[in-house]
């Protein structure tokens, strides 16, 4: 039976790899690190489809040099800032992402960051691990309540709304800023701020859920940090380059920002070393979608898109229409 050729730029959960082995002649990246662009282009020779992830940079050069055999690319992510969609379209290469299936897992991680930062989880955990119990428990490791606090969400899209849903159960008041105000059934009582800078002024906790675009990159800079209420908490599960790291690190050191919970970093997997010694940051290695159920669903959705394009039927989540 004819099987198309697939290049998988990373490994996937077992059920996804089983489907790949059943349906494709597949090459996986076994290097233990992302492919370089040259390696991915070399692997793509003769391939029908590529299954990539945000660590693969697919820019105009990539598409100009992509072998003609490649008929479709799926990205194992909802975010697609690593892909030049204009260049893909110009080359006639359909590109798919994996929206929706990761909303809940990513929102859960945002809540973990929010709680980890507000309840000083890194410091508490370091104490237990090093055998230093809090000596005077009534005054040490005091965090901040969430109940009654204002959560400012930049980007009340699918993931942002899942975070709002969870935060309401913690007694938080939801504020947001988007390009456009959402209809009441999607706002669910959240307060809209046309201007993102106004949102900052009411954000006791500020959580980023906007894609990385030329307009949003470096959004949270020194000047905007100054707009946040005193001792605000910053949470980022979106993309690292939405924050100017040096400015946030200065604000965390000065106590201007009480704490931060970060799952994504500018230049990851490298992390600005300034974060590493700070007690008031709760750090995770970009694991918003990292549950077996969610990563399996993402893999299956990517393969559904690849199958559909190769079979010339409408694909579920193509980025170009
Ligand atoms: C996404 O899907 O964009 C997540 O950030 C995983 O990379």
Query: Pocket residues for ligand 1 (CB within 6 Å)?
Result: 54, 77-79, 102, 288-289
The CA-CA-CA angle for residues 230, 261, 278, to 5°, reads 80
Query: pLDDT tens digits for 105-150?
Result: 999 999 999 999 999 999 999 999 999 886 666 788 999 999 999 9
pLDDT of residue 136: 67
Ligand 1 centroid–CA 78 distance in Å is: 5
What whole-number distance in Å separates Cα of residue 94 and Cα of residue 72?
A: 5
Say what the pTM is.
Answer: 0.95
Ligand 1 centroid–CA 77 distance in Å is: 4
Residue of 239, 256, 293, 295 with catalytic role: 239
pLDDT of residue 133: 81
What whole-number distance in Å separates Cα of residue 238 and Cα of residue 59?
A: 20
Task: Give me the residue spans of the domains in the chain.
Answer: 5-101+291-320, 103-283
Q: Is 82 a catalytic residue?
A: no
What whole-number distance in Å separates Cα of residue 195 and Cα of residue 191?
A: 12
CATH class of 5-101+291-320: alpha beta
CATH class of 103-283: alpha beta
Query: Edge to edge, what strands does the sheet with 150-154 contain?
Result: 191-192, 173-177, 150-154, 205-208, 232-236, 257-262, 281-283
Residue 201 Cα to chain centre, angstroms: 24
Helices (H), 102-195: 103-118, 121-130, 158-169, 184-187
| Segments of the chain with pLDDT less than 70 | 134-137, 321
Domains 5-101+291-320 and 103-283 share a fold: yes
Q: Are strands 150-154 and 95-96 parallel, antiparallel or unpaired?
A: unpaired
Q: Is the peptide bond before 269 cis (omega within 30 degrees of 0)?
A: yes
Ligand 1 centroid–CA 304 distance in Å is: 18
Q: Is 268 a catalytic residue?
A: yes
Q: Is 286 a catalytic residue?
A: yes
What whole-number distance in Å separates Cα of residue 112 and Cα of residue 109?
A: 5
Residue 169 Cα to chain centre, angstroms: 23
Of 59, 113, 51, the C-alpha closest to 86 is 59
Of 224, 273, 278, the C-alpha closest to 247 is 224
The residue to which tokens 């859960």 are assigned: 108
């Amino acid at each position: 039976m004819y099987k198309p050729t697939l290049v998988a730029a990373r490994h996937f959960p077992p059920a996804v790899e089983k489907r790949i082995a059943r349906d494709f002649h597949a090459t996986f990246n076994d290097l233990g690190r992302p492919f370089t662009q040259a390696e991915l282009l070399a692997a793509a020779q003769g391939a029908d489809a590529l299954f990539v992830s945000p660590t693969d940079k697919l820019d105009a050069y990539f598409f100009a040099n992509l072998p003609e055999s490649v008929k479709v690319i799926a990205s194992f992510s909802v975010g697609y800032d690593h892909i030049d969609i204009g260049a893909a379209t110009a080359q006639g290469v359909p590109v798919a992402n994996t929206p929706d299936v990761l909303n809940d897992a990513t929102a859960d991680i945002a809540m973990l960051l929010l709680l980890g930062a507000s309840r000083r989880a890194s410091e508490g955990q370091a104490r237990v691990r090093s055998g230093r119990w809090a000596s005077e428990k009534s005054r040490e490791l005091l965090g901040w309540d969430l109940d009654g606090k204002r959560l400012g969400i930049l980007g009340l899209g699918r993931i942002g709304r899942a975070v709002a849903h969870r935060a309401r159960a913690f007694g938080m008041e939801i504020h947001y800023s988007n390009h456009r105000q959402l209809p009441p059934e999607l706002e669910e009582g959240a307060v809209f701020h046309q201007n993102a800078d106004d949102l900052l002024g009411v954000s006791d906790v500020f959580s980023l859920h906007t894609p990385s675009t030329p307009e949003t990159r470096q959004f949270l800079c020194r000047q905007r940090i100054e707009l946040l209420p005193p001792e605000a908490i910053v949470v980022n599960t979106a993309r690292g380059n939405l924050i100017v790291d040096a400015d946030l690190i200065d604000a965390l050191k000065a106590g201007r920002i009480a704490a931060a919970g970060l799952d994504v970093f500018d230049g990851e997997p490298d992390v600005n070393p300034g974060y590493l010694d700070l007690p008031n940051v709760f750090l995770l290695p970009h694991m918003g979608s990292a549950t077996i159920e969610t990563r399996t669903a993402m893999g299956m959705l990517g393969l559904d898109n690849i199958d559909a394009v190769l079979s010339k039927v409408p694909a579920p989540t193509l980025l170009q229409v």
